[in-house]
Structure 1
Amino acid sequence: MARYTGPQTKIARKFGEAIFGDDKSFEKRNYPPGQHGNNRRRGKKSEYAVQLQEKQKAKYTYGILEKQFSNLFKKASASTGVTGEILLQLCESRLDNVVFRMGIAPSRRAARQLVSHRHITVNGELVNIPSYSLKAGDVVAVREKSKSLSTIEDSLANRSEVYEWISWNSDKLEGNFVSVPERLQIPENIKEQLIVELYSK
């Protein structure tokens, strides 16, 4: 399973946002990486550079590589509705993202690992594909044998975010993917229109 495994703080500094979640190293040095860091005078970015950066930010945020992201865009383009919004909805509907949103894992990277290591079920069936696309009404749960995993317990203990499109039952350690989120319900700071413009060139 191909995925990005490189440095995270460096990427976050590049975008000027903690896109991988809380990061103490980023807080200390929230300026661009490189020898000159803060002092480097960068000229005005071209339109293409701005669009490309937005696409890269979306890819790193959701942990998706180029080929997969391109396929998601094609799927979004073929759907009826606003392409950029549908693209983000497809990203949010991925199983690894929903596991992260439910608080079962502290980050998308950790969520991907839980899914691929067969700790998560969907509608009672084991699913080990992080990119599995959920539909409204699907029930995501922690597998019975995995409920005592300390990583899951710790993550749920620190669970603070609540999303309208996800319901969570802490007794059963299962959640319901109530509906595909509307754009306003997606908290990520991504200008999806720039991504659409880039792919439309």
Structure 2
Amino acid sequence: MSRYTGPKARINRRLGLAVFESAGAMKAMDRKPNPPGMQPPPRKLTEYALAMREKQKIKFYYGLHERQLRKLYDLASRGKGDTGRSLLVLCERRLDNVIRLAGLAKTRPQARQGVAHGHFLLNGRAHDIPSATVSAGDVIDVRRKAHLTDLYAAIRSEAEGTTADWLAFDPETLRVIVHRLPTPDDVTLPVDVQLVVELMSR
């Protein structure tokens, strides 16, 4: 499956959640919060439909392909502890998500694009893989180029501060430090991950 490039507001309305944070998608959802299309009488969703909806929340929110989600699920299922909670923590640890949570991007797609274009250093080395998993102690820097530091300083100035308390941010150097790993309680995505685990374990 290729990256979704269709109408983002329709996805937000269909899922009843702002998985896409662009200004246009958010405004459209405010104007029309109901699912797109004709509005038939509400009917109870099947268990499979509910599980698929929760799975789509994760995929669209973090910008994952089906194969990427499967890889993270397999990794979570092999580890200790609850598979669903571990899956969400692995999603949170993606490099593009960390950059978004640090306020260096307005949306996750913007963060993903910045990483792919080589705008960031991970532990002092150029890194262009948005799906890279960060670890405690990792350091993320904006590359020392004037146009990049100006760009990300401007983006950061519009943010309200670091939104994740497992990250530390230095506004002078635009440096992000992962001072601890996220926990399931740090995940802000409202999703019934147990339904996703049951679906993917079939």
TM range (shorter): over 0.9
SS in 1 for 2:86: helix
One-letter amino acid of the structure 2 residue matched with residue 138 of structure 1? D
Letter of the aligned partner of 2:149 in structure 1? Answer: K
- Measured in 1, the distance between the counterparts of 2:98 and 2:92 equals 7
The secondary structure found in structure 2 opposite 1:198 is helix
CA-CA distance at 1:200 after TM superposition: 1.9
* Identical amino acids, percent of aligned pairs: 38
In structure 2, how many angstroms separate the alpha carbons of the residues matched to 1:137 and 1:6?
A: 37
The offset of 1:162, in angstroms, is: 2.8
Match of 1:121, SS? strand
SS in structure 1 of the partner of residue 84 of structure 2: helix
Q: How many residues align?
A: 196
Task: Look up the equivalent residue of 2:82 and give its one-letter code.
Answer: V
Distance (whole Å) between structure 2 residues aligned to residue 158 and residue 173 of structure 1: 14
**Match in the other structure for 1:185:** 186
For the Cα contact (< 8 Å) 1:52–1:195, is it kept in 2?
yes
2:41 matched to 1:32?
A: no
Paired residue type of 1:105: A
How do 1:72-91 residues align onto structure 2 when only pairs under 5 Å count?
Answer: 72-91=72-91
SS at match of 2:150: coil
Task: Please tell me whether the aligned partners of residues 4 and 65 of structure 1 are also in contact (alpha carbons under 8 angstroms).
Answer: no
Aligned AA (1:76): A
Deviation of 1:25 (Å): 1.0
Q: Secondary structure at the match of 1:148?
A: helix
Cα distance between partner residues in 1 of 2:2 and 2:96: 14
Structure 1, unmatched stretches of 5+, are none
Aligned to 1:96: 96
Query: Once the two structures are superposed, what CA deviation does each residue of 1:56-104 show, in whole Å capped at 9, x if it has no partner?
Result: 1110000001111111101110111110111011101100000100000
The answer as to 2:131 corresponding to 1:131 is yes
1:199 corresponds to which residue? Answer: 200
**In 2: Cα distance, 1:88 partner to 1:180 partner:** 12
TM-score, with length taken from structure 2: 0.93
Deviations along 1:24-73, one digit per CA (max 9) or x if unpaired, are 11110111011x1xx32232111111011100111000000111111110
Query: What does residue 20 of structure 2 align with?
Result: 20
Query: Structure 1 CA distance, aligned partners of 2:179 and 2:84?
Result: 21
d(CA) in 2 for partners of 1:49 and 1:164? 34
1:140 counterpart SS class:
strand
Unaligned runs of 5+ in 2: none
Select between 91-100 and 181-190 the one with higher mean Cα deviation: 181-190
**Runs ≥4 in structure 1, deviation > 6 angstroms?**
none
| 1:2 CA drift (Å) | 4.7
State the secondary structure of the residue aligned to 2:106.
coil
Q: In the alignment, what sits opposite 1:5? A: 5
